[in-house]
Amino acid sequence: MRRIREIVAVTVAAGFFLGTAVQAFAYEGGEIKDGGTITGTIKFAGTPPARKELQVTKDKEICGKKPHLGWDLIVGPNKGIENAVVSLLDVKKGEKWTITKATLDQNGCVYVPHVVVMPAGGDLDILNSDGILHNIHTYGKANPSINKAQPKFKKVLTEKFAKPEIVKVTCDAHSWMLGWLVVSDHPYVAVTNDKGEFTLSNVPPGHYKLEVWQETLGKKVQDVVVKAKQETKLNIELAKQ
């Protein structure tokens, strides 16, 4: 009996320690002094493929007003990659999130924006600007998947995403629709513009691992050093795997 009590005591203590350790290593948001900036460009290595035209097979009076080109890889004239996600992997302390929710619109039977960034634990407002039936379907591992119809009279659906991950978003009513939701526990994450450019501002000085993710080209990780009140410039190439 005494042996059992000892085992229970050790188990409880271990559980308390692990729980405390998890809390201790959670991201801490606060005021940052002497922060640095990471800027850069994500480019395609090689000859970029042409975007394919997507076939509109339903609700053509709304969805077919203009041609739909594939969103899975958009490369600009100077090989800059649009919609790549750039984030710090191992940041434990830094700025607080300045937003508590994000917005994803369904407009012209396209997800706008194609990649949405939001804080873990925050809300996502899913808009239906088309006035037709959509069906939001998310594919998450850390967060429960969502599969909900959004009729034309339901202008806004609000869903919560608690844990960090990248979530694929589709519409079961319109097979060509595709988007991505980037849920992050810290605000040091950015989506590249149409020139492949990004900026991470007010980063605490230190050594980090920076990850670039693109839905077709995969991930690339590299080390980066941030110095107080200085700008660190990066040029990163991604290639087809």
Compute the average pLDDT of residues 78-102.
Answer: 96
142 token code pair: 């850390």
Whether the Cβ atoms of residue 80 and residue 197 lie closer than 8 Å to each other: yes
> How large is the average pLDDT for residues 90-94?
94
pLDDT at 24 over 80: no
Q: Is 179 helix (H, G, I), strand (E, B) or coil?
A: strand
3-state SS, 82-117, equals ECCEEEECCCCEECCCCCCEEEEEECCCCEECCEEE
pLDDT in tens, 26-78: 899 999 989 999 999 999 999 999 999 999 999 999 999 999 999 999 999 99
Question: Which whole number is the average pLDDT over 92-99?
Answer: 95
Closest CA to 230 of 208, 204, 194: 204
- Using a 10 angstrom Cβ sphere, with 0-12 exposed, 13-18 middle and 19 or more buried, the burial of residue 112 is middle
Considering only the top CATH level, what class is 29-238? Answer: mainly beta
* Long-range interactions of 56-64: CB distance < 8 A, separation 24+: 56/109, 56/176, 57/175, 57/176, 58/173, 58/174, 59/109, 59/130, 59/132, 59/173, 59/174, 62/108, 62/109, 62/130, 62/131, 62/132, 63/108, 63/109, 63/130, 63/174
Q: What is the pTM of this model?
A: 0.88
Least confident range of 14-28, 63-77, 145-159:
14-28
Contact 115, 137 (CB under 8 A): no
pLDDT value, residue 241: 78
Q: Band the pLDDT of 124: cuts 50, 70, 90.
A: very high
- The pLDDT of residue 108 is 97
- Report the pLDDT value the prediction gives residue 182, as an integer from 0 to 100: 98
Give the pLDDT band of residue 25 (cuts 50, 70, 90): low
Q: What percent of the chain has pLDDT over 70?
A: 90
Query: Which neighbouring-strand residues pair with 183?
Result: 118, 165
pLDDT at 26: 87
238: exposed, middle or buried (Cβ count in 10 Å: 0-12, 13-18, 19+): buried
Give me the mean pLDDT over the 163-174 stretch: 98
